[in-house]
Amino acid sequence: MLMNILVVEDQPVVRELLTAVAGAALKGSRVQAVGDLESAFEAARATRMDAVLLDLGLPGCQGIDAVKRFKAAFPRVVIIVVSSIDDSRVIAQALEAGASGYLPKGLSPVGLVAALAGARAAAQQA
């Protein structure tokens, strides 16, 4: 299944790396990238997104609130949080808020590829 994936990350280098890994992992899928939550909403309104790689440290948005807002606006989208915060309480909060997965930024690209494969399976069931 080809997917529409949205990378939402404010740091340009990280955004480009996530976009490249996602594109390589899911060949033929469409990967878009934006740097803030409002641009993410615009992109998701314009294109039916299957999965979102969502940073918790976006400007103008307080952490878990980004997950809640995105899930409320787009309930069928698979949200995978990608964050430098590796705290079990924050991970639990993200999952309770509607994220399907949580990836620390220290994770290897292989871990990201595995998470994307899981997101593809979840999107097929949605």
Predicted confidence (pLDDT) at residue 29 exceeds the cutoff of 70: yes
Of the two residues 15 and 25, the one the predictor is more confident about is 15
Predicted confidence (pLDDT) at residue 8 exceeds the cutoff of 70: yes
Residue 50 sits in which domain range? 4-125
The CATH code of the domain that includes 100 is 3.40.50.2300
- In the structure encoding, which two tokens stand for residue 82, read together? 């990608």
Residue 114: pLDDT band (50, 70, 90) is confident
Among residues of the chain, what percentage have pLDDT more than 90?
60
What integer pLDDT is reported at residue 69 of this predicted model?
93
Q: How far is CA 6 from the centre of its chain?
A: 6
User: pTM value?
Assistant: 0.89
User: Which residues does 20 contact at the CB level (< 8 Å), separation at least 6?
Assistant: none
Predicted confidence (pLDDT) at residue 6 exceeds the cutoff of 70: yes
Residue 124: pLDDT band (50, 70, 90) is low
- The residue type of 42 is E
Residue-wise pLDDT tens digits, 58-104? 888 878 999 999 999 999 999 999 999 889 999 999 999 999 889 88
Residue 14: pLDDT band (50, 70, 90) is very high
CB atoms within 10 A of CB 126: 11
- In the structure encoding, which two tokens stand for residue 75, read together? 């309930």
Distance CA(115)–CA(37), nearest Å, equals 21
Instruction: Compute the average pLDDT of residues 16-29.
Output: 87
Domains: count for the chain = 1
